[in-house]
Chain A
Amino acid sequence: MTVLIVVLVVALVLIAWLVGIYNRLVKLRNQYKNAFSQIDVQLKRRYDLIPNLVETAKGYMKHERETLEAVIAARNKAQAAVQAAAARPGDPAAMQGLQTAEAGVTGALGRFFALAESYPDLKANQNMLSLQEELTSTENKVAFSRQAYNDAVMGYNTARETFPNSIIAGATGFGPAQLFELEAPAVERAAPKVSFT
């Protein structure tokens, strides 16, 4: 009888402990998913701004159709990628796709602004200035929320990989989460900014 009770109590404590680990993993996973939706809001905002930007520039940059189309194409691709990533935040393949698409948008925008340099009328356009300002600010916000997301993913991955959590994570299907890093950090850190001097 005594042995049985001792065994039962030990089993109970063990179960409670395992459930505790499981719940912690769930909590961390929710945290990084939540952090991703913060990026999601900002990225969507950014992609909403780009068509306006192109629309404004169209009137001035008549001979740069290819560049403008490249910007729009990159933006459309990135918009699809962010939707895919939002459906499965942290999923390595989806995040990889988003990173590539993001780099594409940043590159296309960089070329666009470099070209815009040679159109003084466009540079002076009020609409253009405010759009550019908003783009920069949105990109700064993306950078900040990206950091929050990466912190959360780091916490989750650490919890997932350490022993004994790794056993439970493996048994209950907690996959690894992917950090959101940009492929050309040097370009990204200084958001596409052109001095109008």
Chain B
Amino acid sequence: MNFFERQEEARRSTRKLVVLFVLAVFLIVMAVYLAVAVALTWAEDTVSVDPWNLTVLGWVAAFTLTVIVVGSLYKIAALRSGGQAVGRLLGGRPLQPNTRDFKERRLLNVVEEMALASGLAVPTVYVLDQEKGINAFAAGFGPGDTVIGVTRGCLDLLSRDELQGVIGHEFSHALNGDMRLNLRLMGLLHGILVIAMIGYWILRTTSGGSSSSSSSSSGSSKKSGGGQLAFLGLAFMVIGGIGVFFGRLIKSAVSRQREFLGDAAAVQFTRNPSSIAGALKKIGGLAAGSRIVNSHAEEASHLFFGNGMGKGFSVKLDDMLATHPPLADRIKRIEPDFDGKLPAVDAGAVSQAQQLAAKEEEETGGLVPGLAPRRAAPAPAPAPPPAAAPRTVDVDPGTIAASVGTLDQAHLELASSFLARLPPALRDAARDPSGACATIFGLLLDRDPALRRRQLDDLQAAVEAPIHEETLKLGPALDQCPVDARLPLVDLALPALRRLSEPQYRVFRAAVERLIAADAKLSLFEFTLQRILLRHLEPHFHPSRPPAVVYGSLRPVSRQASLLLSILAHAGQAQSERAAQAFATGAGHLSDTRAVATLLPFEQCGLADLDRALAALVQAAPAMKQKLLEACTATIAFDKRVTIQEGELLRAISDSLDCPMPPFLPGQALA
């Protein structure tokens, strides 16, 4: 099953859970009606209340539905800022990208490597400091607001390899569209959980504040009033129980299979089964396990790496409703000869050993990514990538599109060697807000000295002096930077750029626009860079609705599709005849060739139009996107050669379609 099929499947599960949700709502309405009918019978002392009193039913339905809808809408609004909202809800603290704490640095290095290897923008990392268990989560609506959260226990107790396994598992959720589904689920389910919460609240206030309320209320009915209120609370709790039950059922239906998939993906990404298995075993051996103590754990239980909830009353029911498969089953799927023994993990001892290892690693330069010694037996390492990447790479349309949403050891090696080769000054700059701004500005500086001076003067007027200075300082280093390292550097700078304050971000965006406009031309690189920045920063500063699937076929967006292919054809081929041939090759990969018949002339292929086209195409169904990406790759690979610029453009387009594409490996073979 590839990336696109999993996206489809995620959408199908959405439909399944909507059915379950409607069923839950129906049952709740009926239960409320039943309770009201009983209460009415009681109150009026007449047994002859018609069991199907439609007026009452109507009112009950209207009232209950209002509560559910308000509850859901409220939560959905609260979760609008995506991953960050979840991170905050669970008591997380965002890590500073330039932290110098060893464990935090190591975690960030692992995340950065994985992100660069998969083509996903580097996500914001949260640490849940209060949680001593081993657990992690990924949350967010899209690439712009992805958050990876990790518990303190995870940070303290896991080795680098195990950490990599856990992060790989979370990345698979991020890559496969599970996150968006999970967040929607969280919002939707809040509506049916809210009744139980109201009941709990009423019970608590009536029992806790009964003495004070009796003094303020007057008349003889106060005692019976309190009793009725308590009864009401109890009724709410019982009825809400239906919601809680269905909530768990829905979550377990959606989440369990995905955990197996996540584990499998972690093995695939790291090529090291002992990494994820080791982490799972440590959860089993640790007294705190994967427990999450935060009071919001129930709401978010389906987001976690391990089972975050404690044991309930009945083992059987627990098994049915668990959001995660049993630990032993998960380990067995990775290590078939697992004997079921979980060596006990002593939190104190492990963290001491880690401290020692940390010291050792620090001394041997372990803080530099890629140089960290691997403790567990590593998988046979592929040949290290050549120091100087060739300017062109060979690619195959099918394999490239299939590689979307995955990564493997070779990509991880490439990413970590990229990080290791990066000059320390650049690496540090990219992890710091002011340095990250300067890095982006420096990348946009023109090679032409006169133009460059004008750009720098412009910059001096637009931004603060320190940033201007830093841009000057980084300029030479950035000029030395290999062409294929420029976009990964941008990816690396994204977490630091998210730390800007809103006014600072506005200044930054305006300065980027001015630098790009300085030569009155929009180059491919400038376009790509701006596209990446806007896609990954704009949703963070101004949350908006994530795109929904609107187009089931290419017919309504054929103009946009042909524009996309035309631009790629012109970008690769200077002569219009060759461009037409490249276009035809690409269009041949679309099932509906009539939809994109002709190559648009060069004059009509403005990059500004591409922006609009991509905004429409992102709303296509996953299967359409796969075809489109295959067509794009075929167009580019028409002459059997892909330049770095073409590759970058292709990756930016893929990224714009919400399909993270791993970087091309130098010398990647044409299959």
Give the shortest distance, in Å, between A196 (CB) and chain B (any CB).
Answer: 17
B458 within 8 A of A: no
Give the shortest distance, in Å, between B192 (CB) and chain A (any CB).
Answer: 16
B99 within 8 A of A: yes
When the two chains form their complex, are residues B504 and A38 in contact, meaning their CB atoms are under 8 A apart?
A: no
B88 within 8 A of A: yes
User: Which residue on B lies nearest to A147, using beta carbons?
Assistant: B504
Within 8 A of A (CB), among B67-96: 67, 70, 74, 77-78, 81, 88, 93-94, 96
User: Which residue on A lies nearest to B66, using beta carbons?
Assistant: A9
Taking CB atoms, residues of chain B closer than 8 Å to A5 are 59, 62-63
Give the shortest distance, in Å, between A171 (CB) and chain B (any CB).
Answer: 17
CA distance A162 to B289 in the complex (A): 45
When the two chains form their complex, are residues B466 and A151 in contact, meaning their CB atoms are under 8 A apart?
A: no
Taking CB atoms, residues of chain A closer than 8 Å to B464 are 143-144, 147
When the two chains form their complex, are residues A151 and B503 in contact, meaning their CB atoms are under 8 A apart?
A: yes
User: Which residue on A lies nearest to B78, using beta carbons?
Assistant: A23
User: Which residue on B lies nearest to A138, using beta carbons?
Assistant: B432
Given contacts A144-B466, A151-B502, A152-B501, contact A38 B435 (CB under 8 A): no
Interface residue from A20, A35, A41, A143 paired with B501 (Cβ < 8 Å) = A35
B499 within 8 A of A: yes
CA distance A144 to B437 in the complex (A): 11
The residue among A12, A16, A144, A148 with the most chain B CB atoms within 10 A of its own CB is A144
Taking CB atoms, residues of chain A closer than 8 Å to B435 are 141
User: Which residue on A lies nearest to B94, using beta carbons?
Assistant: A34
B467 within 8 A of A: yes
Within 8 A of B (CB), among A12-67: 12-13, 16, 19-20, 23, 26-27, 30, 34-35, 37-38, 41, 44-45
User: Which residue on B lies nearest to A48, using beta carbons?
Assistant: B100
Taking CB atoms, residues of chain B closer than 8 Å to A148 are 433, 499-501, 504
B470 within 8 A of A: yes
CA distance A196 to B63 in the complex (A): 78
Given contacts A27-B88, A137-B470, A148-B501, contact A38 B70 (CB under 8 A): no
For chain B, give the interface size range: 20 to 34
Given contacts A12-B66, A30-B88, A147-B501, contact A45 B100 (CB under 8 A): yes
When the two chains form their complex, are residues B78 and A12 in contact, meaning their CB atoms are under 8 A apart?
A: no
When the two chains form their complex, are residues A144 and B78 in contact, meaning their CB atoms are under 8 A apart?
A: no
For chain A, give the interface size range: 20 to 34
B118 within 8 A of A: no
When the two chains form their complex, are residues B467 and A144 in contact, meaning their CB atoms are under 8 A apart?
A: yes
User: Which residue on A lies nearest to B98, using beta carbons?
Assistant: A41
Interface residue from A1, A12, A155 paired with B502 (Cβ < 8 Å) = A155
A140 within 8 A of B: yes
B434 within 8 A of A: yes
Taking CB atoms, residues of chain A closer than 8 Å to B466 are 140-141, 143-144
B469 within 8 A of A: yes
CA distance A30 to B94 in the complex (A): 10
CA distance A30 to B126 in the complex (A): 13
Given contacts A30-B88, A35-B501, A152-B501, contact A12 B67 (CB under 8 A): yes
User: Which residue on A lies nearest to B198, using beta carbons?
Assistant: A12
Taking CB atoms, residues of chain A closer than 8 Å to B81 are 27
Taking CB atoms, residues of chain B closer than 8 Å to A23 are 78
CA distance A26 to B78 in the complex (A): 12
Taking CB atoms, residues of chain A closer than 8 Å to B501 are 35, 147-149, 151-152
Taking CB atoms, residues of chain A closer than 8 Å to B62 are 5
User: Which residue on A lies nearest to B466, using beta carbons?
Assistant: A140
Interface residue from B94, B433, B473, B503 paired with A144 (Cβ < 8 Å) = B433
Give the shortest distance, in Å, between A9 (CB) and chain B (any CB).
Answer: 6
When the two chains form their complex, are residues A37 and B470 in contact, meaning their CB atoms are under 8 A apart?
A: no
CA distance A149 to B503 in the complex (A): 11
Interface residue from A26, A38, A137, A143 paired with B96 (Cβ < 8 Å) = A38
A8 within 8 A of B: yes
When the two chains form their complex, are residues A140 and B433 in contact, meaning their CB atoms are under 8 A apart?
A: no
Taking CB atoms, residues of chain A closer than 8 Å to B67 are 12
Give the shortest distance, in Å, between A133 (CB) and chain B (any CB).
Answer: 9
Given contacts A141-B434, A144-B433, contact A37 B59 (CB under 8 A): no
User: Which residue on B lies nearest to A140, using beta carbons?
Assistant: B466
Given contacts A147-B501, A147-B504, A151-B503, contact A38 B59 (CB under 8 A): no
Give the shortest distance, in Å, between A142 (CB) and chain B (any CB).
Answer: 9
A99 within 8 A of B: no
A145 within 8 A of B: yes
Taking CB atoms, residues of chain B closer than 8 Å to A145 are 433-434, 499
CA distance A127 to B433 in the complex (A): 26
Give the shortest distance, in Å, between B576 (CB) and chain A (any CB).
Answer: 49
Taking CB atoms, residues of chain B closer than 8 Å to A143 are 464, 466
Interface string of A123-138 (1 = CB under 8 A from B): 0000000000000010
A12-B70, A141-B433, A152-B501 are known contacts; what are 16 more A-B pairs with Cβ within 8 Å? Answer: A9-B66, A13-B70, A19-B74, A27-B81, A34-B93, A34-B94, A35-B501, A38-B499, A41-B99, A44-B100, A140-B434, A141-B432, A144-B504, A148-B433, A151-B501, A151-B503
Interface residues of B (CB under 8 A from A): 59, 62-63, 66-67, 70, 74, 77-78, 81, 88, 93-94, 96, 98-100, 432-435, 464, 466-467, 469-470, 473, 499-504
16 CB contacts below 8 A, A to B, read A13-B70, A23-B78, A26-B88, A27-B81, A34-B499, A41-B96, A41-B99, A144-B433, A144-B434, A144-B466, A144-B504, A147-B501, A148-B500, A149-B501, A151-B503, A155-B502
**Which 5 pairs show the lowest CB-CB distances between chains A and B?**
A140-B466, A151-B501, A144-B434, A148-B501, A41-B96
Interface residues of A (CB under 8 A from B): 1, 5, 8-9, 12-13, 16, 19-20, 23, 26-27, 30, 34-35, 37-38, 41, 44-45, 137, 140-141, 143-145, 147-149, 151-152, 155
